[in-house]
Amino acid sequence: KNQVEQSPQSLIILEGKNCTLQCNYTVSPFSNLRWYKQDTGRGPVSLTIMTFSENTKSNGRYTATLDADTKQSSLHITASQLSDSASYICVVSRLRAGNMLTFGGGTRLMVKP
Amino acid sequence: NAGVTQTPKFQVLKTGQSMTLQCAQDMNHEYMSWYRQDPGMGLRLIHYSVGAGITDQGEVPNGYNVSRSTTEDFPLRLLSAAPSQTSVYFCASSQHGTSTDTQYFGPGTRLTVL
């Protein structure tokens, strides 16, 4: 069964600290893996997308890694800011038209001053 | 560009009522889709369209209909609302619907069925 599992479910950190979110997947055949940020009451916004051959990609203070062999990804947030408070969703795309995306349940991050 | 817009933002229905959730995009995207998001669960695909006049079912299509008469619009119809359809609904679009396309999401419609 195609699944995407994220951990932890929720996380509280202090402003300025770093954190790492985890994503494990069993989706096959694998095409790419995306991380989205979803602010409360808003739609998800794409942060990064990585294909099979890429093992790291950065977007400002966000750095995503991918290990396609172990089917794991992580999202590292550096020097957190209050505006980083959101849900972070891992999404894996299959090599198939139409119903391509499998979404994780998300990690809810709260950054406190 | 307004991107992907959805109306209404909030809606309360009684069991058995019907309604249409509106979605529009102004990016000339071929691919449009509808998802529902329930607490603790990932987004699940309801229906999608790869172009005007073409629609197909996603993971959870029962109780919903769609049509795509224009490139811009992709309405989602609830035929006879049930409490199990209480959820947040997101419309999304992408250029061609390929696996590497970036998907752009609308702001969502929060639906409560009593």
| pLDDT tens, residue by residue, B17-61 | 999 999 999 999 999 999 999 987 889 999 999 999 999 999 899
Average of per-residue pLDDT across A55-79: 96
Residue B45 C-alpha, separation from nearest chain A C-alpha, in angstroms:
7
Q: What is the mean pLDDT of residues A21-38?
A: 93
Cβ atoms of B10 and A57 closer than 8 Å: no
| Per-residue tokens: B21 | 């959730």
Whether residues B107 and A43 touch (CB distance < 8 A) is answered with: yes
With a cut of 90, say whether residue B97 has pLDDT above it.
no
Mutate to test the interface with A, among B43, B55, B57 (most CBs of A within 10 A): B43
Measured torsion, CA atoms of residues A9, A14, A20, A23, in degrees rounded to the nearest 10:
20
Q: Could B4 and A43 be called an inter-chain contact, meaning their C-beta atoms sit closer than 8 Å?
A: yes
A97 falls in which pLDDT band (50, 70, 90)? Answer: low
